[in-house]
């Protein structure tokens, strides 16, 4: 009988896109109630009463008007936030992208088969690039399985933006150009761009419709390195992409005559290959969120692990043309701009402190044995670490994924709850007994879990408030008092979170971001069965913050929490 059943067809990458639900608009009253909860830890009684009064007036006045207009917008768009978010969070920002917007770091290849070794970089780069091109082909042929949360399909649109995508600077607003197409949609760019010693080369990754093999890719990369060896460095036009966005746009108009989108842009994915055979990346955050890149890196990582980092196919090299150098015509003014951009970028990077440590005392297994959620455990340890180091609560952003909705990206989850702060106070109060600390920790866990679930279900409040703010702005209205209230920014609103944090996943892939604010931290982490690996960033010019000290306090907080959970499971 089983032989007579039809074979189910494999799922296509984008097959669920048309059936995904629209992004909902939360209830105004509930969003404002959550907002009041979120500002409470940062307010005195007098300040909180003033904010409460502002919020009540907003709810029955201009807030309700703006909310009704947002509901109207949501009827016309499957995702009312999508365009706004891209503009407000990324394209309209005028600060230099490379440090303040891009995420850096994610790359596999280290933990199992490719320890650092000088002279291996070209061989490894050819193999890693081949696996990366296989991933491009999976998306192009729509054979990459759609991702799911349990049995619920997730939006896969961001995977279109991983390749063949660049951001182009504008005087007031940048623009994203995306040339990717699935095979069913038509032809698609298939070239690779290689940058070496300030020079830029390109070659087609396909020959007769087939992806170049690692030996063929090795030939192309070797050609570029050989051409650049012993020669003066090139002009390094790419340094201009590190500039303030309006400045870069003006330079592009002056220096890069012709169509800059064909030969230059802020790329969605840059794979960095170092001389010791290790890898990194730098990626524009505007087109997609980090989990897309993590998915690519994890795929490559697992392919390398399965093949022991070796190419086991043919060593034959077809007759393929060598890479072509892209030569820019630059005048002395442009060269001066490039030198200035390099200097400014160097100074900025020297101000950024980044530490990456592995906490190896325990990991996911020990936490789950105590029936606790590993992510919430780490978030509370981070809260306690900040509280101990800075003698007070730190407004905190944690990424919540909203990809169960059409073109969903992220929502803000605010881990610095009143329950978390009360628990931190209990942990540093020597007069507080173990039972009181346990009870406080349990309440903090429950609150975090509820807020994260709400955010993932489209019931967060930060994006909702952003929508109301942007409607007021578009209509030329005065900025509502809610957004001018000092507590709005102090609690993290408007991109002012002191702790910018995210779980990168349960894989071997890790990344890093710069702090949102000068007095803040970036805190990214990945969770494994036996360890937690963390990257922490801070600005050295702000003397009161220190990434290493935050990690040390985080480590001690982890031990305190495990001990508390062990003596009596929550």
Give the pLDDT of residue 63. Answer: 98
67 is catalytic: no
Q: How far is the CA of 279 from the CAs of 114, 302, 376, in angstroms?
A: 10, 15, 30
Nearest to 63 by CA among 462, 412, 465, 491: 465
Give the pLDDT of residue 7. Answer: 54
pLDDT band for position 110 (cuts 50, 70, 90): low
Nearest to 81 by CA among 398, 408, 401, 455: 408
**Domains of the chain and CATH, by start:** 20-78+461-493 (1.10.275.20), 88-339 (3.30.559.70), 351-412+419-458+498-569 (3.30.559.10)
Confidence check: pLDDT of 512 > 90: no
Q: What is the pLDDT of residues 162-201, one digit of tens each?
A: 999 999 889 899 999 999 999 999 999 999 999 999 899 9
Q: How far is the CA of 57 from the CAs of 436, 461, 476, 480, in angstroms?
A: 38, 18, 20, 10
Give the pLDDT of residue 238. Answer: 81
Q: What is the pLDDT of residues 286-296, one digit of tens each?
A: 999 999 999 99
Confidence check: pLDDT of 3 > 80: no
Whole-number CA gyration radius for the chain: 25
Q: Which two tokens stand for residue 209?
A: 């419709």
Nearest to 356 by CA among 43, 104, 169: 104
**Are β-strands 165-168 and 396-401 bridged in parallel, bridged antiparallel, or unpaired?**
unpaired
Give the pLDDT of residue 382. Answer: 98
How far, in whole angstroms, is CA 241 from its chain's centroid?
19
What mean pLDDT do residues 278-303 have? 90
Burial tier of 422 (Cβ tally within 10 Å: 0-12, 13-18, 19+): middle
Nearest to 557 by CA among 446, 420, 452: 420
Q: Above pLDDT 70, what percent of the chain?
A: 93
What mean pLDDT do residues 195-209 have? 94
Is there a contact between 125 and 270 (Cβ–Cβ < 8 Å)?
Answer: no
> Please, which residues bridge with residue 146 across strands?
none
Give the pLDDT of residue 256. Answer: 34
Residue partners of 256: CB distance under 8 A and separation at least 6? 237, 263, 264, 328
Phi, psi of 166 (to 5 degrees): -150, 155
| pTM of the model as a whole | 0.92
Give the pLDDT of residue 94. Answer: 80
* Cα–Cα dist 462/448, whole Å: 16
What mean pLDDT do residues 325-330 have? 90
Is there a contact between 140 and 224 (Cβ–Cβ < 8 Å)?
Answer: no
Give the pLDDT of residue 272. Answer: 85
| Half-sphere exposure (Cβ direction) of 552: Cα atoms closer than 13 Å | 6
Q: Where are the beta strands (DSSP E) in 36-119?
A: 103-104
Nearest to 292 by CA among 401, 451, 181: 401
Catalytic residue among 67, 121, 131, 285: 285
Confidence check: pLDDT of 46 > 90: yes
Confidence check: pLDDT of 109 > 60: no
Is there a contact between 215 and 316 (Cβ–Cβ < 8 Å)?
Answer: yes
Q: What is the pLDDT of residues 403-460, one digit of tens each?
A: 999 999 999 999 999 999 999 999 999 999 999 999 999 999 999 999 999 999 999 9
> Please, which residues bridge with residue 435 across strands?
none
Give the pLDDT of residue 259. Answer: 26
Give the pLDDT of residue 452. Answer: 98
- Give the chain's mean pLDDT: 91
Phi, psi of 547 (to 5 degrees): -65, -40
Give the pLDDT of residue 2. Answer: 43
Which residue bears the tokens 């020959």? 207
* Cα–Cα dist 570/568, whole Å: 6
> Please, which residues bridge with residue 410 across strands?
401
Give the pLDDT of residue 163. Answer: 96
| 3-state SS class at 367 | helix
Give the pLDDT of residue 108. Answer: 57
Residue partners of 270: CB distance under 8 A and separation at least 6? 281, 282, 283
Residue partners of 493: CB distance under 8 A and separation at least 6? 462, 465, 483
DSSP structure string for 326-339: E-----HHHHHHHH
């Amino acid at each position: 009988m089983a032989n007579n059943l039809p074979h189910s067809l494999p799922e296509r990458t984008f097959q669920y896109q048309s059936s995904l639900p629209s992004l909902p608009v939360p209830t105004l009253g509930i969003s404002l109630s959550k907002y009041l909860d979120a500002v409470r830890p940062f307010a005195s009684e007098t300040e909180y009463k003033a904010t409460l009064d502002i919020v009540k007036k907003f709810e029955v006045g201009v807030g309700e008007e703006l909310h009704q207009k947002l509901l109207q917008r949501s009827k016309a768009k499957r995702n009312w936030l999508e365009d706004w978010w891209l503009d407000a969070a990324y394209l309209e920002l005028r600060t230099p992208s490379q440090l303040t917007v891009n995420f850096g770091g994610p790359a596999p290849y280290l933990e199992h088969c490719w320890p650092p070794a000088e002279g291996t970089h070209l061989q490894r780069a050819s193999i890693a690039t081949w696996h990366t091109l296989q991933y491009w082909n999976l998306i192009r042929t729509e054979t990459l399985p759609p991702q799911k949360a349990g049995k619920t399909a997730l939006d896969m649109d961001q995977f279109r933006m991983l390749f063949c995508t660049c951001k182009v600077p504008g005087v007031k607003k940048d623009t994203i150009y995306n040339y990717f197409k699935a095979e069913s949609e038509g032809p698609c760019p298939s070239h690779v761009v290689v940058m070496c010693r300030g020079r830029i080369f390109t070659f087609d990754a396909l020959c007769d419709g087939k992806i170049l093999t690692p030996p063929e890719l090795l030939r192309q990369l070797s050609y570029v390195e050989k051409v650049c060896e012993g020669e003066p460095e090139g002009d390094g036009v790419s340094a201009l992409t590190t500039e303030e966005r309006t400045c870069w746009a003006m330079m592009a108009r002056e220096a890069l005559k012709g169509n800059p989108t064909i030969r230059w842009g802020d790329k969605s994915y840059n794979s960095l290959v170092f001389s010791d055979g290790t890898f990194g990346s730098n990626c524009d955050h505007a087109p997609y969120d980090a989990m897309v890149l993590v998915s690519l890196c994890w795929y490559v990582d697992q392919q390398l692990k399965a093949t022991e980092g070796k190419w086991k196919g043919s060593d034959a090299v077809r007759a393929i043309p060598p890479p072509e150098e892209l030569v820019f015509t630059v005048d002395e003014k442009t060269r001066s701009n490039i030198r200035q951009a390099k200097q400014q970028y160097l100074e900025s990077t020297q101000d950024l402190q980044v530490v990456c440590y592995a906490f190896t005392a325990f990991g996911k297994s020990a936490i789950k044995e105590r029936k606790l959620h590993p992510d919430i455990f780490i978030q509370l340890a981070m809260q306690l670490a900040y509280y101990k180091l800075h003698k007070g609560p730190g407004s905190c952003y944690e990424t919540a994924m909203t990809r169960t909705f059409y073109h969903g990206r992220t929502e803000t989850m605010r881990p610095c709850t009143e329950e978390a702060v009360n628990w931190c106070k209990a942990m540093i109060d020597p007069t507080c007994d173990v039972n009181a600390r346990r009870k406080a920790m349990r309440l903090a866990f429950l609150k975090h879990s509820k807020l994260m679930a709400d955010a993932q279900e489209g019931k967060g409040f930060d994006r909702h408030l952003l929508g109301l703010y942007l409607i007021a702005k578009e209509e030329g209205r005065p900025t509502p008092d809610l957004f001018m209230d000092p507590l709005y920014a102090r609690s993290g609103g408007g991109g002012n979170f002191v702790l910018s944090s995210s779980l990168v996943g349960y894989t071997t892939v890790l990344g890093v971001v710069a702090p949102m604010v000068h007095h803040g931290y970036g805190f990214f982490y990945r969770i494994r069965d036996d360890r937690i690996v963390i990257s922490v960033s801070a600005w050295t010019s702000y003397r009161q913050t220190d990434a290493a000290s935050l990690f040390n306090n985080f480590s001690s907080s982890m031990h305190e929490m495990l001990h508390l959970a062990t003596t009596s499971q929550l």
